[in-house]
Amino acid sequence: MKLVCLDGHTLYPVTDSRWAAFADLADFEIYDRTPVDKIIERATGAEMILTNKVPLDAATIESLPGLKYIGVLATGYNIVDTEAAKKAGVVVCNIPSYSTNSVAQQVFALLLAICNRTEEYAAGVSAGKWSACADFTYREREWPELAGKTFGVVGFGNIGKRVAAIASALGMQVAVVTSKNEDELPSGYRKVELDALFSTADVVSLHCPLTADTKGMVDARRLSLMKPNAILINTARGPLVDEQALADVLNQERIFGAGLDVLCNEPPHASCPLLTAKNCIITPHIAWASTEARERLFDIALNNVKAYTEGKPVNVVN
């Protein structure tokens, strides 16, 4: 039984000894990265494929008649045509819940960076601004206290729940856009519609999957609903947001700021308008990748493959 990992590098270097655990389960080959024109060549003959961001569309799946299992090395699986896989009898499994705490931590790292400007002030101190100050302190901009503000969560899965709990612990009021009934939410949380959330929340944090319905949902109209002191956080998927529309409201100072860990193109094109937008902090899709989260991802991926080889697949998404 042949298993091919198409892009292992973002998890661990392909020379890392941990990968040997997969060789105990199958005839294992691993590549650091795989360009689209090499997918079929490298995957031919494989019954199982592991992929993080290498796309497996309907045509590719059809070209691999021996393929029976696709293991996505992430929670989101939009890079796989799951319907085409189902029709071809291919099981698709993902890695649920491995990065919940890691992503939630990054949400508040971004939020606090925007509000408190910790890095900016630390750089100023290193540059001698405090030493040259006539007073015991100096302040270069106004900054908000989070307690008492409304924190809006779009999507109430594992990550959304964890983020909401942290916001509540900081003394914030939590409002949620979710398909769940309000009586299913923790005490004190309010269920609201999406437009109402954007018009009332001081912070809007996106935690929904990328689908045909959610793509571009944060558009110019919805951004226009936000308050001037509002902050947008996106650690979910870049295409949820119209990047030009967000850059426009930031540059016009119609909202306070944005913290983003994801963009529409990754890595971004040099022309991406958000790279130069005012009060926009961007990190390189790193929220998932704490040491502990990557260890959990690896262990779940290994268990997924083992379960499939034993005829009892788990974490099946199609």
Peptide bond into 186 cis (omega under 30): no
Q: With contact defined as beta carbons under 8 Å apart, do 151 and 175 qualify?
A: yes
Phi, psi (deg, nearest 5) at residue 264: -65, -40
Task: Count other C-beta atoms under 10 Å from residue 95's C-beta.
Answer: 25
Q: Give the separation between CA 75 and CA 87, rounded to whole angstroms.
A: 22
Q: Give the separation between CA 217 and CA 239, rounded to whole angstroms.
A: 9
Structure tokens at 235: 């650690």
Phi, psi (deg, nearest 5) at residue 5: -100, 120
Asked if 285 is an active-site residue, the reply is yes
Q: Report whether pLDDT(115) > 90.
A: yes
Instruction: Kindly report, residue by residue over 203-246, the tens digit of the pLDDT.
Output: 999 999 999 999 999 999 999 999 999 999 999 999 999 999 99
Instruction: Kindly report, residue by residue over 156-196, the tens digit of the pLDDT.
Output: 999 999 999 999 999 999 999 999 999 999 999 999 999 99
> Residue 290: exposed, middle, or buried by beta-carbon count in 10 A (0-12, 13-18, 19+)?
middle
Q: Give the separation between CA 213 and CA 17, rounded to whole angstroms.
A: 42
Q: Give the separation between CA 154 and CA 31, rounded to whole angstroms.
A: 36
Q: Give the separation between CA 304 and CA 308, rounded to whole angstroms.
A: 6
Length reported for the chain: 318
Reported as a pLDDT band with limits 50, 70 and 90, residue 89 is: very high
DSSP 2: E
Q: Give the separation between CA 67 and CA 308, rounded to whole angstroms.
A: 13
Reported as a pLDDT band with limits 50, 70 and 90, residue 148 is: very high
- Local structure of 8: helix, strand or coil: coil
DSSP 77: -
**Could you tell me the maximum CA-CA distance found in the chain, to the nearest angstrom?**
74
Given 162, 285, 294, 296, which residue is catalytic?
285
Given 237, 243, 294, 296, which residue is catalytic?
237
Asked if 266 is an active-site residue, the reply is yes
Q: At what angle do helices 100-116 and 158-169 cross, to 10 degrees?
A: 40
Structure tokens at 39: 């997918």
Q: Give the separation between CA 167 and CA 190, rounded to whole angstroms.
A: 13
Q: Report whether pLDDT(141) > 90.
A: no
DSSP lists the bridge partners of residue 4 as 29, 49
Q: What is the mean pLDDT of the chain?
A: 97
Structure tokens at 56: 């497996």
The pLDDT assigned to 28 comes to 98
54 Cβ contact partners less than 8 Å away, ≥ 6 residues apart:
6, 7, 33, 34, 36, 39, 79
Average pLDDT rounded to a whole number, residues 52-56: 97
Average pLDDT rounded to a whole number, residues 5-25: 97
Given 83, 253, 266, 292, which residue is catalytic?
266
Considering the entire predicted model, what is its pTM? 0.92
Residue pointed to by tokens 């606090």: 112
Q: Give the separation between CA 32 and CA 215, rounded to whole angstroms.
A: 29
